[in-house]
């Protein structure tokens, strides 16, 4: 297999996404879980700072990606068959939501200590007021857009270019970018890591 080298700043971004992002997430979650409860202002601050951080990171990565001539199609920003993509997206959304609903229902019936890290995180950061709910919805929307661009767009495009001369270009890029995405969610523990990679 012959690898094509990417520009130095792409390696720096991949390093940041695969080390600094998960490390900061783990530190932040550890501090969060150490507190007995979060005040309304602390929850709101968590939502807002995460939103700002993700958009800033996305802007920097987008600036470097377009500066290095990655095409919008390579970054997953164009759709060749909108109807098919919309239909598949809706179907997958319904399946994922049903899975989440079933998981949450099951988790609610587990004793406190058996519910795991993800449940403890969710319980700690869950919105409690209408203002929280609005900010949390903005955070969810931001995470969906920014993380997909960073990992499914940028990381995938970089790995696809690096493996361009290989028969495994697309599958290899899919596995590597999924691995990078999973590592970015290391703070969620082993289960979150595996689920993020598989999904």
Q: Quickly count: other Cβ atoms within 10 Å of residue 87's Cβ.
A: 11
Alpha-helical segments (H) within 35-129: 40-67, 82-108, 116-125
What is the per-residue pLDDT for 82?
86
Q: What is the pLDDT of residue 75?
A: 92
- Give this prediction's pTM: 0.84
192: which residues sit within 8 A by CB, 6+ positions away?
A: 117, 118, 185, 186
pLDDT of residue 24: 93
The residue assigned the tokens 């200590």 is 113
- Whole-angstrom distance, CA of residue 118 vs CA of residue 196: 12
The tens place of each residue's pLDDT in the chain, 199 residues long, gives 566 778 999 999 999 999 999 999 999 999 998 998 888 899 999 999 999 999 999 999 999 999 999 999 999 888 888 899 889 888 988 887 787 777 767 766 666 555 677 778 888 888 889 999 999 999 999 998 999 999 999 999 999 999 988 888 899 999 999 999 999 988 888 887 888 888 7
Angle 82-86-88 (CA atoms, 0-180°, nearest 5)? 120
Domain boundaries, the chain: 8-79+117-198
Range 21-28 contact pairs with CB under 8 angstroms and sequence separation of 24 or more: 21/57, 21/184, 22/183, 22/184, 22/185, 22/186, 22/187, 25/184, 25/185, 25/186, 25/187, 26/186, 26/187, 28/187
Name every residue whose Cβ is closer than 8 Å to that of residue 21 and which is 6 or more positions away in sequence: 57, 184
As a whole number of angstroms, the distance between CA 79 and CA 72 comes to 10
Alpha-carbon distance of 114 to 119, in angstroms, equals 9
pLDDT at 123: 83
Which run of H or E residues covers position 189? helix 189-198
């Amino acid at each position: 297999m012959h690898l094509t080298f990417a520009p130095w700043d792409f390696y720096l971004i991949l390093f940041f996404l695969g080390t600094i992002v998960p490390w900061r997430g783990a530190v932040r979650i550890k501090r969060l879980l150490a507190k007995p409860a979060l005040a309304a202002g602390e929850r709101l601050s968590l939502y807002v700072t995460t939103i700002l951080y993700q958009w800033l990171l996305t802007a920097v990565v987008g600036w470097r990606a377009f500066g290095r001539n990655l095409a919008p199609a390579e970054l997953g920003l164009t759709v060749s068959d909108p109807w098919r993509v919309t239909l598949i997206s809706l179907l997958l959304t319904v399946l994922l939501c049903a899975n989440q609903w079933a998981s949450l229902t099951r988790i609610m019936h587990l004793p406190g200590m058996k519910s795991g890290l993800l449940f403890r995180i969710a319980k700690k950061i869950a919105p409690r007021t209408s203002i929280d709910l609005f900010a949390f919805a903005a955070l969810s929307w931001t995470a969906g857009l920014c993380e997909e661009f960073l990992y499914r767009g940028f990381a995938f495009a970089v790995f696809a270019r690096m493996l361009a001369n290989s028969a495994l270009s697309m599958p290899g890029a899919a596995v590597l970018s999924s691995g990078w995405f999973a590592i970015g969610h290391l703070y969620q523990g082993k289960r979150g890591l595996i689920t993020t990679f598989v999904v």
